[in-house]
Amino acid sequence: MSALLDTITNQVLHAPVWLVLLVVGAVVFVEDALFVGFVVPGETVAILGGVAASLGHVPLAAVLVVVVVAAIVGDTVGFEVGRHLGGRVVALRAFDRHRERIAQAQDFLGRRGGAAVFLGRWTAFLRAVMPALAGMSKMHYPTFLVWNAAGGIAWGSVVVTAGYLAGRSYARVETWLGRGAAILVAVAVVVSLVVWQVRRRRAEAAEGAEDAVVEAGEHPSRMPSAG
Considering only CA atoms, which of 13, 88, 91 is closest in space to residue 58?
A: 13
- Closest Cα to residue 44, out of 172, 145, 219? 172
Task: List the domain boundaries for the chain.
Answer: 2-182
List pLDDT tens digits, range 146-157. Answer: 999 999 999 999
pLDDT at 8: 58
- On whether the CB atoms of residues 96 and 89 are closer than 8 A, the answer is no
Per-residue pLDDT tens digits for 99-125: 788 888 889 898 888 899 999 888 888
Q: What is the pTM of this model?
A: 0.69
The reported pLDDT for the residue numbered 12 is: 62
Whether the per-residue pLDDT at 185 is higher than 50: the answer is no
Q: According to the per-residue pLDDT averaged within each range, which of 5-19, 93-107, 194-208 is highest? A: 93-107
Distance CA 198, CA 190 (A): 12
Count of CB atoms situated within 10 Å of the CB of 132? 27
